[in-house]
Amino acid sequence: MGAGKVLVTVAQLYNREAEYLRRLEAAGLDVERRIGQGGRLTEDELIDALPGVFATLASSEPYTERVFRAAPDLRVIGRWGVGYDAIDLPAATRHGVLVCTAVGANHEAVADYAVALMLALQRGIVANHRMLTGGVWQTVFRPAIWRATVGIVGLGRIGQAVARRCRGFDMTILAHEPMPDRAFVRAHGIELTSLEELLRRADLVTLHCPATPENHRLINRERLALMKPTAHLVNTARGSLVDETALHDALTTGGIAGAGLDVFEKEPRTASPLFALGNVIASPHLAGIDETSEAAMADRAIDAILAVHRGAPPPRECIVNPEALRPR
C-alpha cells in the first residue's frame, strides 16, 4: 500500500512516549496523535482528523455512518481495548473498514480490578479510611469475602478470570451466561443460574457481559429490587448495562449496600449524583489498564494495522466484522 497515516486517538498516549508506536513508524507510516477538547474526539472532530488516514489506533470516539462516508481512505480501526460499542459495525462493514479489538490483552487487568472493588466494598476499606481520617477510631463489623456468594454476569474471558480469583476465596460462584464453556464451569465448580436467581442469591454481583442492545440497562429498577439489601454491585464492563437513576435510588433507600463503578452511561464523566454517595466507589473507566495490559492492547491493535498495511488479514480472533475483508 505504500506510506500512509495512522491516527492515534487514545488520550493516555497523547503526551507521553510509547515505545510500541515506533513499530508503526518503522513500517514507514506517519503517526498523528489527536484528542478532543473533552478528552475524546467528537464526531465532527473525528471527521476533521480522518482525511488521508488509513488506520486508527482508536479509543471510544464515535465511528458513525457519517464518519465512514467522510473517510474513504480508512481501512482498519484497531481498538485500544476490547469494546466496540462506539462503532457502527454494519456501517464499517458496508464501507469495507475492518474493526479489530485487542481481545485477550486486558482481561486479567479487568478481573484484578473487579475483585479489588469487591474486596473494598465488602470489607469497607474506603469507608474505614474515611472514618479514621475523619477523626474516628472505631471497629465496624462488615461481611466477609471468604466463602461469600458471588454472581458473575457474563462468563467470557473476563468473567472466567474473575471466577478463578474467586475460587481462592472459597466463594460460592454463580454465573449467568447464555453460551457457557461447560468444561470451565465444571472445572471451577460454578453454578449456572438465571439472572434473576443470581441477583436474589449473590452477596456480590459483578458484570462482565457485552453492551448489546439486548443488554441495555440490563440492571434496571426491577432487577435491583431482587438483590439483597446487603449486596454490592460491581460494573467494570459498560455503563449502559446499568440504569444509573434506578441504581442511585437503590443505594440511597437501602435497596442494596453499595456499588463499585468503573464505567458510566455517559463518558467522560466528572460529575454524577452517584459520586456524592458514601457507599459508592467510582473510577474513570480504567479497570483494563495496567502497565502490562497497556502495551499488550497497543501491540494487538498495531499488529492488526500492520497486517492490513502489508495487505494481509489480521489475526482472525481480533476481527469483529470479517465480512469487511472483501476487496474494496
* CATH 3.40.50.720 residue ranges for the chain: 5-105+290-325, 107-282
- Mean pLDDT, rounded, of the chain: 95
What kind of architecture, by CATH, is found in domain 5-105+290-325? 3-Layer(aba) Sandwich (3.40)
Distance CA 121, CA 258 (A): 7
pLDDT digit string (tens) for 110-132? 999 999 999 999 999 999 999 99
Annotated catalytic residue 285: yes
* Residue 12 confidence (pLDDT): 80
pLDDT above 80 (res 43): yes
Which of 79, 232, 285, 309 is the catalytic position? 285
**Residue 36 identity:** G
Confidence of residue 16 (pLDDT cuts 50, 70, 90): confident
Share of the chain above pLDDT 70, in %: 98
Residue 1 scores a pLDDT above 50: no
Q: Is the pLDDT of residue 72 over 60?
A: yes
Catalytic residue status for 22: no
pLDDT at 248 over 80: yes
CATH, range 107-282:
3.40.50.720
Would the pLDDT of 3 be above 90?
no
Residue of 123, 165, 267, 269 marked active site = 267
Look at residue 327 in the predicted model and tell me its pLDDT.
63
Predicted pLDDT of residue 311: 92
What is the rounded CA–CA span in Å between residue 28 and residue 22?
Answer: 10
Look at residue 172 and tell me whether its pLDDT is greater than 80.
Answer: yes
The residues, any chain, with a CB within 8 Å of residue 246's CB and separated by 6 or more, are 219, 220, 221, 224
Strand order of the β-sheet with 258-261 is 191-192, 172-176, 149-153, 204-207, 232-235, 258-261, 280-282
